[in-house]
Structure 1
Amino acid sequence: MNESQLKTLYALLDMFSKRYPNKSPEAVKETIKESLKMLSDTKPLSHSEQVEQDSCQLFNTSRFNDIVLAYLIIAMRTADTPHSEAMKLLDTFNHTLDEITAEQALERYRGNIQ
């Protein structure tokens, strides 16, 4: 949840607590206050960091999986990868796309793959 969403949620909870004072979710309001404080203490992302974060979120939707798989198949064909090896790689790659987020993949890539 981003700062704007938390502020909106806080405003809604505040309105709820005013309309229904005996059913006010004070613990939730306190958690949101703490989260907003932590967010305000956090260094804002640079433009390039924000662009990367947005790209990762979009990639995590699986929208580009077919495109990435197409590139992988083209590369394997160009490299004359044997069929059995190509099938193992595709299977592993599909599992990896499902199990690792784009952020985790970049982190591993930048850390020289672990």
Structure 2
Amino acid sequence: MKIYLDDIRNPPDSSWLVVRSVEAFKERILSAPIPITELSFDHDLGDKVPDGYDATKWFVEYAMDNEEITQNLKTIIAHSDNTPGRENIAAYFESAKAHGVFNDDLIIERRPAMLNK
């Protein structure tokens, strides 16, 4: 399964499951018996709501206690047009990877959102 977190944009193709909020992202992860292979995070998800960085921190914490969620994870993409937000998301995942939360072969990418259109 590929999960795309973004409040406005659609993913580059129909193979992605779209979630529009951090709450929907959490619900999907918690109910996903299907192995997750890719995740893509936007940073800005609307005014006065949790953002993609909040989802990132939650997912890393969840993965620390639920290793099986990361077994098939191959790629994480930070796809925000918010450059500092995109960097924060990617750097948080890179730090977690360096500390053994994720497999060594996990790919972490940074992309401006416009490349996904």
TM-score range, shorter chain: under 0.3
Q: Which one scores higher on RCO, CA 8 angstroms, separation ≥ 6?
A: 2
Structure having the higher helix fraction is 1
- Greater radius of gyration (CA): 1
* TM-score, with length taken from structure 1: 0.24
* TM-score, with length taken from structure 2: 0.24
